[in-house]
Amino acid sequence: MSVNLNQFSIGPAIGDVDLAHSSGESIVSVRFGYEDTAGDIEAGEGVKLSDLGANDTPGAPIVAIRGTELEPIYGVKIRNTKKAKAEGGDVCEVATFGAVVRFKAAGALSRGAAVTLTLATIGEVKAVSTKTPLGVALDKATNAGDIIRVRLTCDGIAVGSA
């Protein structure tokens, strides 16, 4: 049996950007904060804007991993096939408002449902109630673990902010 490299394809993965439905300005280069004690950041993980005080540097916006479900969502780290995780001080790409990104569903979700990130599992979304919304499910998830597309509506503003 002969094997042709073109007979294999990569399926959708968590943190992939659906370029057919996203605009270029919704992907932003950011610097992952040096002082983030939560560890490395992975594809599909939500970030918030961060103020490093005296250690702030000019240039790309500085972000940190969200610690609670009520913290604002600036965006999510997108998948990078060359470097899976970003460490403190690294520049990485984040999908923001308007981008369409793939996530794993925590359970059954209807198309059009408002979703938020599940902090316990990176790259997973669930129906939103009182938590900070991430976006709108563009696909229906019938089972936990289904990969769905989400249009991001997050804007970095905390829930209840004026």
Rg (CA), the chain: 16
Give every residue of the chain whose pLDDT is below 70, as ranges. Answer: 1-10, 20-24, 34-38, 159-162
Q: What is the DSSP letter of 110?
A: -
Report d(CA 27, CA 111) in Å as an integer. Answer: 24
154 — phi, psi (to 5°)? -70, 145
- Residue 69: its pLDDT value, please? 84
Could you tell me the residue ranges of all domains in the chain?
19-152
- Residue 5: its pLDDT value, please? 56
Report d(CA 25, CA 128) in Å as an integer. Answer: 26
Residue 108 CA, distance from chain mean position: 20
Q: Name the residue among 62, 74, 69, 71 with its Cα closest to residue 27.
A: 74
- Residue 127: its pLDDT value, please? 94
The DSSP secondary structure of 32-44, one letter per residue, reads E-TT-TT--EETT
